[in-house]
Amino acid sequence: MYIDSHVHFWRLARGDYGWIKPDNPILYQDFTPEHLLPFLKEESVGGCIAVQAAPTIAETEFLLSLIIDHPWILGVVGSLDPYLVEAEYILHYERLRVNRMFKGVRLNGDQLERIARYGGEALLRLRRWAKDRVTVDLLVREHQLEHALTLLRFVPELHIVVNHLGSPPYGEERLSEQWAQHMSALARYPNVMVKISGMITPAGNRPQVLRPYVTHLLDAYGPGRLMYGSDWPVAKQKGSYADVVRL
């Protein structure tokens, strides 16, 4: 039994999934825990972590509510804007952090870059997250990894999980030197981990293309700092849940 560290659930009627468009019939439908559970059982997955698919507090609360009827959802990585005005930020943060199923916050590359460049109140809040062991998932592109290094120079004790291998450019013939250097530099911080996730969507079901990237991460981080993540249902665009597990 093992854990799937990266799945999404959504109900389109909630209205905050702006990136899911009607012209994508695979994703433009509801995906709830009931849809995923049969695949977890087939692949002997013991549980999963639900990760936000919309950058809102309402999305975080929605995911946390799913745990009531589905205890195999073992935690939630939600949303919390570190630039919220003080009163609103405190209200949400204090409420979320006492929920033992709230495991962390996911930031995208633009949010990371803003914090790394300008700091301010957000940086102080991330220092509090580090103290409270609130994990920061990073959804970043290759060129944004440098901002993760900047952030760690300011808050070296922050617990970071880089999503989807740090989004390397799989289309290149050789391993990206920029990606490799940045991921190796991040590995020097013992509190940084990486999700082996989100590969099949950009690269397809091609082990020969993906193997050099995974090998580099195994060498840099060791298996104890790498997590399996399916990125279901986004991965359905290129393969089944079983395809992702085999890959």
Give the closest residue to 48 by CA, choosing from 61, 32, 59: 32
237: DSSP letter: G
pLDDT in tens, 102-139: 999 999 999 999 999 998 899 999 999 999 999 999 99
Q: Let me know: does 207 contact 247? Beta carbons within 8 Å.
A: yes
Residue 82: pLDDT above 90?
yes
CB atoms within 10 A of CB 154: 13
Cα 74–chain centre separation: 15
pLDDT in tens, 152-202: 999 999 999 999 999 999 876 688 999 999 999 999 999 999 999 999 999
Q: How far is CA 192 from CA 55, 88, 149, in A?
A: 22, 29, 11
pLDDT in tens, 29-81: 999 999 999 999 999 999 999 999 999 999 999 999 999 999 999 999 999 99
Mean pLDDT of 207-213: 93
- Show Cβ contacts of residue 162 under 8 Å, excluding neighbours closer than 6 positions: 138, 140, 145, 148, 183, 186, 192, 193, 194, 195
Percentage, residues of the chain above pLDDT 90:
96
Q: What is the pLDDT of residue 174?
A: 80
For the chain, the residue count is 247
